[in-house]
Amino acid sequence: MDYIKQLQHLTDTSHASLAQKIGISSTTLNRILAGNHISQQTENKVVDFLHKNIDQAKLFLDETYVGNMDHATEMNISCVFAITSHAFHDFKKIVYPLGWRKGDEVKAAGKDIAMLGDLLSTTKSDELQTFYTKTLTKYNEVAGLQYLCPYILAVMETLETISIERINDLEIVIDTRSEFFADNLTDCQKILATYLPLIGCHVKELKVSSCKSRDLIGLQYADFVANLSTRGSQEILQDAQINPTPRFKIEVQHLLY
């Protein structure tokens, strides 16, 4: 039962409090942590709880412009939510059959759509949830954050869609752009730390950073998702379990203005 380890990481409160949150007795929780047999009904409660309460997670974001990059006013932002460090193992094995080293990068641009769809369908897993959202390339109403604002909103939309209630340690990594500066990323982190609880997602430790995609497999996966989201048919996206987030709520956008 792989969820035993997950529960052990979430016992920063008393067993009684944790059991109450799950909707089981303390005795049953102790049985679970001891590896004893439990009923299907109890297992369903535990699994549902763990879907909403996570120890560690990373959210990788990349973008693909809609139309000519130099004149585009819209883009698709991919949001790849990973809950384990080996979530991209199959993707890495297929794209880099001889092994991957930091700095190696295969881009999705120009690749055959059907091939991209097959690749992401093959490498999907329970440890990954992938989304994309359509957004403006920038929001001039937010001085200093006009380029980061679309990503902030995409994070909010993604986490609200997943309905995560609690994450102990969340790292958000955005593919580096020349428009991003350290102070802006710090402001982005402060904004998300303030407003994520308002959409029901409580994060104990939050970090927002940007990185070159050639240095992280997660960002390379996000590049493939973003590219396919602008070119793939609905059927291809469904097969790869790439889901659109709901359109931005006006009231959520107003939080940033």
Q: 186-226, pLDDT tens digit by residue? A: 999 999 999 999 989 999 999 999 999 999 999 999 999 99
Q: Is the pLDDT of residue 13 over 90?
A: no
Q: What percent of the chain has pLDDT over 90?
A: 61
Mean pLDDT confidence for 18-26 = 85
Mean pLDDT confidence for 223-245 = 95
Residues composing the chain: 257
Using pLDDT thresholds of 50, 70 and 90, give the confidence band for residue 176. Answer: very high
Parallel/antiparallel/unpaired status of strands 53-65 and 166-175: parallel
Mean pLDDT confidence for 120-126 = 91
Which pLDDT score is estimated for 45? 86
Mean pLDDT confidence for 44-60 = 88
Q: Is the pLDDT of residue 38 over 80?
A: yes
Using pLDDT thresholds of 50, 70 and 90, give the confidence band for residue 49. Answer: confident
Which pLDDT score is estimated for 249? 47
Q: What's the mean pLDDT when you consider all of the chain?
A: 88
Which pLDDT score is estimated for 12? 59
Which pLDDT score is estimated for 93? 95
Which pLDDT score is estimated for 194? 94
Q: Cα separation of 153 and 137, whole Å?
A: 12
Which pLDDT score is estimated for 6? 72
Q: Is the pLDDT of residue 248 over 70?
A: no
Which pLDDT score is estimated for 251? 46
- 113 torsion bin: left (phi>0), alpha (psi -120 to 50), beta (else): alpha
**Block residue for tokens 């944790």:** 18
Q: Is the pLDDT of residue 20 over 90?
A: no
Q: Is the pLDDT of residue 148 over 90?
A: yes
